[in-house]
């Protein structure tokens, strides 16, 4: 089966055709309603998939930029995929591009002429940013600059731009953190996000772009990557519960974060671009919990004691830690009318339940001899 991107490129080749002409005296069918066009970088990620669902539900035509990879990375979008040859139903299309390649960004902005651009792509793992700082800075910071420049130079004016910020930008600034709190980044990732934030502000002030920064605090879901601590925990809970794993290795359990549901947060992204004036907004639940509390909730949901399974491994401690993040989202609640729907306990249970089902399916493969159950202690 061809990849989503490969199929969509086949459609790109036919896109320039005007199609067959109508037979004489035949009345043309009514034109389809004009749809807003959204362009999303990072569409294959957690937030990208939820945002795509949301925008399709709003009647948008959604285009996503994806990187070339030897492995398909479109699993989070599979349920939304429609063969692009069915042009009346295929409202999500994927195209190859990269935030490190300015020419590809400019080409797609110029050809798609989107109404809204959502820059969600990033090397978004904080700990890994210490290992690949150059790449992180190039994609997260300079990548945002390349995209802003593509929008600025586009023939279409009035494109609205959303820049995905991060609560990690606040770093060691004491909570609660709001739009007026000082940035004190504690990782290459956070520093790069600060640069992207100020590039966005600069292009708004210098060129009049409708450009917004969404400073989103930690947001999770069953679609979260498995090397992020919340999903690492819930994935382990599922595997331990069905007997595929016994130990979970973690680092700093005292770190506290303001965790919300990613599905709630993508609505705030969209709301920012529907305002009369551009601005910057903190999006948060205003409720903070430690990693240890997350463990209590996750293991307790299935009747297990996390202390029987968790082992502290110093390799998971960062060179510089962020102790506590808790957002003040007063502005978003008042101006946008946004508020979170999913609370902390419901979020954890949602993730655990999903990973229990995943572990059960995995166990079937293990019992049948198709997988090795000894991948983890």
Q: Choosing from 104, 129, 166, 187, which is the catalytic residue?
A: 166
pTM of this structure: 0.89
For the chain, where are the alpha helices, taking DSSP H only? Answer: 4-14, 46-57, 102-112, 126-129, 133-137, 143-152, 188-207, 229-241, 262-272, 291-301, 330-331, 344-367
Q: Choosing from 189, 199, 203, 281, which is the catalytic residue?
A: 189
Per-domain boundaries in the chain: 37-224+258-287+324-342
Taking only the tens of pLDDT, the chain with its 377 residues reads 444 444 444 334 333 333 433 444 444 444 456 899 999 999 999 999 999 999 999 999 999 999 987 777 889 999 998 887 887 788 999 999 999 999 999 999 999 999 999 999 999 899 999 999 999 999 999 999 999 999 999 999 999 999 999 999 999 999 999 999 999 999 999 999 999 999 999 999 999 999 999 999 999 999 999 999 999 999 999 999 999 999 999 999 999 999 999 999 999 999 999 999 999 999 999 999 999 999 999 999 999 999 999 999 999 999 999 999 999 999 999 999 999 999 999 999 999 999 999 999 999 999 999 888 766 66
Q: Choosing from 61, 168, 267, 286, which is the catalytic residue?
A: 168
Residue 324 a catalytic site member: no
Residue 357 a catalytic site member: no
Q: Residue 98 and residue 131: Cα distance in Å, rounded?
A: 21
Residue 187 a catalytic site member: no
Residue 219's nearest CA partner among 210, 228, 232 is 228
Topology of the domain covering 37-224+258-287+324-342: Rossmann fold (3.40.50)
What is the three-class DSSP state of 76? helix
Residue located via tokens 């292009």: 203
């Amino acid at each position: 089966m061809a990849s989503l991107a490969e199929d969509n490129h086949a459609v790109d080749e036919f896109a320039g055709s005007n199609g067959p002409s109508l037979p004489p005296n035949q009345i043309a069918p009514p034109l389809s309603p004009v749809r807003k066009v959204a362009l999303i970088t990072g569409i294959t990620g957690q937030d990208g998939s939820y945002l795509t669902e949301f925008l399709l539900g709003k009647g948008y035509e959604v285009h996503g930029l994806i990187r070339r990879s030897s492995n398909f990375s479109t699993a989070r979008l599979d349920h939304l995929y429609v063969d692009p040859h069915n042009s009346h139903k295929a409202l999500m299309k994927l195209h190859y591009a990269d935030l490190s390649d300015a020419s590809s960004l400019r080409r797609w902005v110029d050809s798609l002429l989107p109404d809204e651009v959502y820059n969600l792509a990033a090397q978004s793992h904080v700990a890994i940013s210490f290992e690949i700082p150059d790449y992180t800075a190039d994609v997260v910071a300079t990548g945002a600059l390349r995209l802003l420049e593509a929008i600025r130079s586009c023939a279409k004016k009035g494109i609205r731009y959303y820049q995905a910020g991060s609560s990690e930008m606040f770093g060691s600034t004491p909570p609660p953190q709001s739009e007026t709190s000082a940035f004190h980044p504690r990782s290459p990732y956070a520093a790069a996000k600060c640069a992207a934030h100020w590039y966005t502000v600069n292009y708004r002030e210098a060129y009049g772009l409708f450009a917004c920064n969404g400073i989103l605090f930690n947001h999770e879901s069953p679609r979260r990557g498995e090397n992020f601590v919340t999903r690492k925990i819930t994935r382990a809970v599922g595997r331990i519960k069905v007997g595929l794993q016994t130990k979970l290795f973690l680092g700093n359990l005292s770190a506290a974060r303001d965790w919300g549901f990613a599905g709630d947060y993508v609505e705030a992204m969209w709301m920012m671009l529907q305002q009369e004036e551009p601005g910057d907004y903190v999006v948060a639940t205003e409720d903070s919990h430690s990693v240890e509390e997350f463990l209590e909730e996750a293991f307790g949901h299935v009747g297990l004691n996390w202390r029987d399974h968790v082992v502290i491994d110093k390799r998971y401690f960062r060179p510089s830690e962020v102790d506590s993040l808790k957002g003040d989202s007063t502005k978003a609640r008042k101006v946008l009318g946004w508020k979170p729907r999913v609370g902390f306990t419901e979020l954890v249970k949602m993730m655990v339940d999903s990973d229990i089902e995943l572990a059960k399916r995995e166990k079937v493969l293990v019992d049948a001899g198709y997988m090795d159950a000894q991948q983890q202690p």
